[in-house]
A = this chain, B = another copy of it.
């Protein structure tokens, strides 16, 4: 064969099959050789379209991020954060095996990516001091990623917790919706509201102190 008239591979094709492998058999099952064989091609062929395996994973991460909705900030940063986190969480909910990868990337490229992030920018535009905005955005991000790895998954919790003894009549069933993730998110946002208030008053204090020392 060597070179067909029309290319049988493309970045999007490779990227989608990579995600499919991750979904089906986990991140550890994603191999350049396996990815290639799934596309009916040799492993080396993939390097005509991606520089290396990491670039493939970048493409997958980017595609997953496409589903994330950063537009809710028009109705306040709380709403924006909640919308963003929920869409991020539900995007990952369909691809739980991809969460570890995003976790690894949030930590690797984290610094630069996190700061130039739209969520961070939106927080700053809503009056968050830059540093605290990074903290807030990162905290929410890790909360989402942690939740998406099923660590707080209600079903698994029920398997392990002696739930029958604590709640013999199953009255807490209504606390399944909203899921644990939403509860944790609410907790964090509630705390962030208080923090923002304090950060602002700290800023005002500093400003007063500054004009006083400038007057002296």
Q: Which chain B residues lie closer than 8 Å to A210 at the CB level?
A: 169, 171
A134 and B161 contact, Cβ closer than 8 Å, known pairs A142-B143, A143-B139: yes
Confirm or deny: A149 has a beta carbon within 8 angstroms of a beta carbon on chain B: yes
A35, CB-defined interface residue at 8 Å: no
> When the two chains form their complex, are residues B190 and A194 in contact, meaning their CB atoms are under 8 A apart?
yes
A108-150 contact mask (Cβ, 8 Å, vs B): 1 or 0: 0011101110000000000001111011101101110111011
Interface size on A, residues (CB 8 A): 62
Residues on A lying within 8 angstroms of B by beta carbon are 99-100, 103-104, 106-107, 110-112, 114-116, 129-132, 134-136, 138-139, 141-143, 145-147, 149-154, 156-163, 166, 169, 171-172, 175, 180-181, 183-184, 186-192, 194-195, 202, 206, 210
Q: Which of B134, B157, B188, B189 contacts A152 (CB 8 A)?
A: B134
- A138: chain B residues within 8 A (beta carbon): 146-147, 151-152, 180, 184
Residues in B neighbouring A171, C-beta threshold 8 A:
206, 210
Whether A172 contacts B131 by the Cβ 8 Å rule is yes
Measured in the bound complex, the distance between the Cα atoms of B136 and A187 in whole Å is 9
Smallest Cβ-Cβ distance to A112: which chain B residue: B160
Given known A142-B142, A194-B187, contact A131–B154 (CB-CB < 8 A): yes
Quick one: which of B135, B160, B183 contacts A195, CB cutoff 8 A? B183
Q: A163-B130, A183-B132 are in contact. Are A151 and B188 (CB under 8 A)?
A: no
Report the minimum CB–CB distance from A68 to chain B (whole Å). 17
Q: How far is the CA of A157 from the CA of B142 in the complex (A)?
A: 17
Residues on B with beta carbons closer than 8 Å to the beta carbon of A195: 183, 186-187, 190
A112 partner residues in chain B, CB cutoff 8 A? 160
- How far is it, in angstroms, between the C-alpha of A147 and the C-alpha of B138 when the chains are bound? 8
Contact of A202 among B139, B142, B175, B206 (CB under 8 A): B175
Q: List 23 A-B contacts (CB under 8 A).
A: A107-B146, A111-B150, A116-B160, A129-B166, A129-B175, A130-B157, A131-B161, A131-B175, A132-B183, A135-B180, A135-B181, A136-B184, A139-B146, A139-B152, A141-B146, A141-B151, A142-B145, A145-B146, A169-B210, A175-B202, A187-B194, A188-B188, A189-B191
